[in-house]
């Protein structure tokens, strides 16, 4: 395996490192730019502790509640005799297509006097808000991150240890809690990390629910109070919390090594008969489907029926074209950048390849508001003409989502081993011909999945779009946010429903492609 990185791979890696590290470094310099007295006043504000406490409390609570939802549903879909399993799997995946701010809009618009639920069935559902509202929304629309990991782990887990525990006299519940759950630790940490990072970086849900966290305060300080020094310090505080989460995940994963204990081929876990628990399982599944899918979609359809603007669909189509265009550009640039980074991570060893890969993931782990603020400060200092332009927005999308695109490409590189290229070279094919005729066809599925992932993420993305998009650049996400902030629920409905429909379609396509 070659140690030295070729220039064709080194150049995009260096550009990625500079694109992520330089703006973040300048954010730190910008935060330290005030005089000593102002810095003391900013750093030791009591509000900082309140924001930190609220952010940590919400993140920990969301992790707990998503576990309470995802683990039972994953077990029912992977191990139980509850049918149909495909429907249970869809229930665990489809809420991911609804962005958190769309879910928050739907639940707010459903409750209260004159809300969708009050009008349709005469029950005045409480309007969610504060900590409990943010917890409810984030739980309902982020638990699929955990479900996907737990479901995969439960389907492939070696049943030998469970069999051994039962032979030693443990009953079903003791075996589940003592053997099955501990072996789900890597899957739980992987999904939990995504949920934790998402909750730390979320500002739309907490803002709509009026729950103060670091992210909500950053947006307020930058857009309303115009206090850029304090917003920079808040962004640094959020980065510290993100770094702590990443460090904890690494510590918990240290020393984890789980392998099959049974010899020979892997056996599929047996099916658990629910018996008397079947009605309770159906109540759980029905309630989850009603709250996470039926209520939001029904609310959007209700308010859509009240929107009577003759220019409605013209405006929606304009926003859709802008959103699809930006998402397509970002999907292309991000996938193109992910390819060399995936090659470095899978085919080269040493300190530099590992550092490059970690920095690429740092761009994804950095909360979007903090990353957008870092780019703004840096661009205004170095190239002001780039501020609020489409190229800057595409650059931000690319640097933030490139880590999301690396995974599927690396999976494709496992099949496209270097030996296939070497065999083609022996047969007289040139290096570029071997890449075109052997490697790229094998990478095509992974590249398509990467592009689809990024396309869907950009379509739903809000913080980067709000702070970095050109003036007059309207997208579905931006209009949902703007109309919901002003309590214009009927005006927000067509944008929210279009976004949810496209997200659902893309999620199903990605899920189907991933199974092939």
- CATH code, domain carrying 110: 1.10.3720.10
Among 334, 373, 335, 341, which Cα is nearest to 358's?
A: 341
Residue 510 falls inside a structural domain: no
Q: How far out from the chain centre does Cα 129 lie? A: 23
How far apart are alpha carbons 90 and 196 in whole angstroms?
23
Mind listing the pLDDT tens digit of every residue in the chain (516 residues)? 445 777 777 888 888 888 888 888 888 887 777 677 777 777 777 888 899 899 999 999 999 999 999 999 999 998 888 888 889 999 999 998 899 999 999 999 998 888 888 888 888 899 999 999 999 999 999 999 899 888 888 887 766 666 676 676 676 777 777 777 777 888 888 888 889 888 988 889 999 999 999 888 888 887 765 667 788 888 888 888 888 887 877 777 665 555 454 444 456 677 888 888 899 999 999 999 999 999 999 999 999 888 766 677 788 899 999 999 999 999 999 999 988 888 887 777 777 877 887 788 888 888 888 888 889 889 988 999 999 899 999 999 999 998 888 877 876 676 666 666 667 666 666 656 666 666 677 777 778 888 888 998 899 999 999 889 998 898 999 999 989 988 888 889 999 999 999 988 888 877 776 555
Residue 460 falls inside a structural domain: yes
Query: Does an H or E element contain 74, and which?
Result: helix 46-78
Same domain, 136 and 168: yes
Q: How does DSSP assign 215-227, residue by residue?
A: HHHHHHIIIII--
CA angle (492, 495, 501) in 5-degree steps: 130
User: Tell me, what's the pLDDT at 162?
Assistant: 66
User: Tell me, what's the pLDDT at 347?
Assistant: 72
Same domain, 312 and 301: no
Residue 116 falls inside a structural domain: yes
Peptide bond into 516 cis (omega under 30): no
Among 361, 397, 437, which Cα is nearest to 194's?
A: 361
Count of the separate structural domains present in the chain = 2
Residue 148 falls inside a structural domain: yes
Do the beta carbons of residue 367 and residue 242 sit within 8 Å?
Answer: yes
Same domain, 113 and 234: yes
Rg (CA), the chain: 24
Q: How far is CA 101 from CA 193, 441, 478, 489, in A?
A: 20, 38, 10, 13
Same domain, 336 and 287: no
- CA atoms lying within 13 Å on the CB side of residue 147: 26
How far apart are alpha carbons 264 and 315 in whole angstroms?
61
Same domain, 363 and 448: yes
How far apart are alpha carbons 81 and 431 in whole angstroms?
52
Same domain, 196 and 57: yes
Helices 46-78 and 185-201, axial angle in degrees (round to 10): 140
Q: Token pair of 115, please?
A: 């809300």
User: Tell me, what's the pLDDT at 161?
Assistant: 66
How far apart are alpha carbons 463 and 466 in whole angstroms?
5
Among 184, 56, 77, 193, which Cα is nearest to 131's?
A: 56
**What's the domain range around 1?**
1-33+308-474
Same domain, 70 and 193: yes
Stated pTM of the model: 0.85
Do the beta carbons of residue 424 and residue 438 sit within 8 Å?
Answer: yes
Q: Token pair of 145, please?
A: 């991150």
Q: Give the residue carrying structure tokens 């857009």.
A: 223
- Return all residues near 363 (Cβ < 8 A) that are at least 6 apart: 16, 19, 20, 371, 399, 400, 402, 403
User: Tell me, what's the pLDDT at 298?
Assistant: 92
> CB count, 10 Å around CB of 95?
25
Same domain, 428 and 328: yes
How far apart are alpha carbons 359 and 240 in whole angstroms?
16
Same domain, 284 and 339: no
Residue count (the chain) = 516
Same domain, 1 and 59: no
- Return all residues near 333 (Cβ < 8 A) that are at least 6 apart: 394, 397, 398
Q: What is the 3-state secondary structure (H, E, C) of 142-206?
A: HHHHHHHHHHHHHHHCCCHHHHHHHHCCCCHHHHHHHHHCHHHHHHHHHHHHHHHHHHHHCCHHH
Residue 462 falls inside a structural domain: yes
Q: How far out from the chain centre does Cα 74 lie? A: 19
Q: Token pair of 296, please?
A: 């939001």
How far apart are alpha carbons 478 and 481 in whole angstroms?
5
Q: Which residues make beta-bridge pairs with 80?
A: 272
Question: Which of 306, 324, 349 corresponds to the end of one domain?
Answer: 306
Residue 500 falls inside a structural domain: no
How far apart are alpha carbons 216 and 221 in whole angstroms?
9
Furthest C-alpha separation in the chain: 76
Question: Which of 438, 458, 474 corresponds to the end of one domain?
Answer: 474
Q: How far out from the chain centre does Cα 262 lie? A: 35
Q: Token pair of 40, please?
A: 């003391």
Same domain, 115 and 246: yes
User: Tell me, what's the pLDDT at 516?
Assistant: 55
Same domain, 290 and 347: no
Residue 138 falls inside a structural domain: yes
Residue 515 falls inside a structural domain: no
């Amino acid at each position: 395996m070659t140690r030295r990185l070729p220039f064709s791979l080194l150049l995009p890696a260096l550009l990625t490192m500079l694109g992520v590290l330089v703006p973040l470094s300048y954010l730190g310099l910008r935060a330290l730019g005030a005089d000593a007295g102002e810095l003391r006043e900013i750093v030791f504000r009591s509000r900082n502790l309140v924001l930190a406490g609220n952010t940590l409390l919400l993140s920990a609570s969301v992790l707990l509640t998503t576990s309470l939802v995802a683990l039972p549903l994953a077990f029912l879909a992977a191990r139980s005799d509850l049918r149909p399993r495909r429907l249970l799997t869809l229930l665990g995946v489809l809420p991911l297509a609804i962005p958190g701010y769309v879910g928050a809009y739907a639940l707010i618009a459903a409750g209260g006097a004159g809300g969708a639920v009050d009008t349709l069935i005469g029950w005045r559902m409480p309007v969610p808000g504060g900590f409990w509202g943010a917890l409810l929304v984030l739980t309902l629309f982020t638990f699929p991150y955990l479900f996907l990991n737990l479901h995969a782990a439960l389907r492939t887990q070696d049943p030998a240890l469970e069999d051994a525990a039962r032979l030693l006299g443990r009953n079903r519940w003791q075996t589940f809690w003592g053997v099955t759950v501990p072996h789900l630790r890597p899957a739980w940490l992987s999904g939990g990390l995504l949920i934790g990072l998402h909750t730390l970086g979320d500002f739309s849900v907490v803002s709509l629910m009026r729950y103060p966290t670091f992210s909500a305060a950053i947006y307020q300080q930058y857009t309303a109070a115009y206090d850029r020094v304090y917003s920079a310090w808040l962004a640094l505080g959020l980065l510290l919390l993100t770094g702590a989460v990443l460090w904890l995940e690494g510590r918990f994963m240290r020393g984890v090594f789980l392998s099959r204990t049974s010899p020979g081929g892997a056996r599929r876990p047996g099916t658990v008969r629910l018996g008397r628990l079947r009605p309770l399982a159906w109540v759980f599944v029905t309630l989850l489907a009603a709250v996470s899918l039926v209520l939001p979609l029904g609310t959007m359809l209700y308010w859509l029926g009240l929107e009577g603007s003759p220019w409605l669909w013209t405006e929606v189509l304009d926003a859709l074209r802008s959103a699809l265009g930006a998402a397509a550009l970002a999907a292309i640039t991000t996938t193109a950048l992910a390819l060399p980074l995936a090659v470095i991570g899978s085919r080269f060893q040493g300190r530099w390849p590992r550092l490059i890969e970690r920095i690429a993931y740092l761009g994804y782990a950095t909360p979007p508001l903090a990353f957008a603020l870092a780019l703004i400060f840096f661009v205004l200092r170095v190239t002001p003409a780039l501020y609020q332009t489409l190229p800057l927005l595409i650059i931000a999308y690319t640097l933030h989502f490139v880590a999301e695109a690396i995974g599927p490409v690396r999976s494709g590189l496992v099949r496209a081993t270097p030996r296939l290229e070497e065999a083609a070279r022996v047969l007289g094919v040139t290096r570029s011909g071997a890449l075109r005729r052997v490697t790229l066809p094998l990478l095509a599925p992974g590249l398509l999945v990467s592009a689809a992932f990024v396309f869907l993420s950009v379509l739903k993305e809000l913080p980067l779009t709000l702070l970095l998009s050109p003036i007059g650049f309207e997208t579905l996400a931006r209009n949902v946010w703007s109309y919901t902030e002003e309590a214009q629920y009927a005006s927000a409905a067509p944008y929210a429903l279009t976004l949810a429909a496209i997200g659902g379609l893309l999620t199903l396509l990605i899920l189907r492609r991933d199974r092939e």
